[in-house]
Structure 1
Amino acid sequence: MTMRDIASFRPSTPGNAMEPSGWAVVGLPANFVAEASVQTRSGTLLGRAAEVRFHPVGYQWAHSDGAVVQATAPGATWAQLGQAEFTATATSHAYATSGEYTADLAVVYVAEYRFDGSVWRWIDGTLSIPGARQQVLVGEFDTVLVTGDCNAAPSGPGC
């Protein structure tokens, strides 16, 4: 059994979220999070009732500035990670210049199948499913109400 044999079975389109939502600051990490999970699909395979279960195992964000970020996990929000906003993560990307960009997600799945409730059997190969395109507006921002350079005094007021 190969991925070609299960072509009529497909996982749903993965979601592609980011924080901050839809925008980023030049030189600071924007955090990307894929929304993909294990999914089971039912149907007919080789003339028999079957189920195919898809497991996400890889994530790739292709940014329109030429950067590619690959990960084995879908990423998590800064709050879930217990990190401050604009902290680098395994799935983050920092844009070097202002502009309008896109981030295209692809999720790689492995799959297994079974007939009529039998044991699950792994299928050779992987399947890459494109996710939703994320629009990213990147700009330069100045902070106000600070007592000085936040890089030099990160605990200062407004930093």
Structure 2
Amino acid sequence: MKHGVCIVECFDKSDPGSEGRVLKEIFNLMQIESVLVRVKSIENLFEQIAESEMKYVHVSTHGAETDSRTFGGWWTHKGTGTRKWVQQQDIDLSCTAIVSTACRSGTTSFGKYLVDTMGCKYYIGPTGCPNFYNAALFSHLYYHKLFKTRRTVQAAFYSYEASYKNPHGFKMFRKTAA
């Protein structure tokens, strides 16, 4: 796998900007290999994650909320990646880490499912609802730590968590030993 980031983005026309474009520019400035892929369907979103040649995947989309205001899945124009939908797919996520900035996507059930069942080594997502600028700031700080100072997913995340207020409750999930 290539040492870089695949940014998978699905944004709504009402969004204040493209988090993917911001990240792509940050990676260019840091001289980190990256690719920005825009998707419209949940099938394509998971397809792009599964087929990525990059060690790291960044999912930039919205989190669909249930009636009880909990995470219902990753949103796209053509469907939502609910846990039930994801469980019915035959997808192997062999990337090292997935970072999501979708609202409430850092729920324990979703995070553990991605790492323990679908094969991703690490998953990071917020338990709250970050604004566009909060998501971009978290991502910039985390990826700077990952690629420039700390060099491992765990060290980069724990450094972020220890150094900043983490107002949106970003959480990291790690694959448990089989």
Query: TM over 0.5: same fold?
Result: no
Scaled by the length of structure 1, the TM-score of the pair is: 0.23
Higher helix share: 2
The structure showing larger relative contact order (alpha-carbon pairs under 8 Å, at least 6 residues apart) is: 1
Higher strand share: 1
Scaled by the length of structure 2, the TM-score of the pair is: 0.21
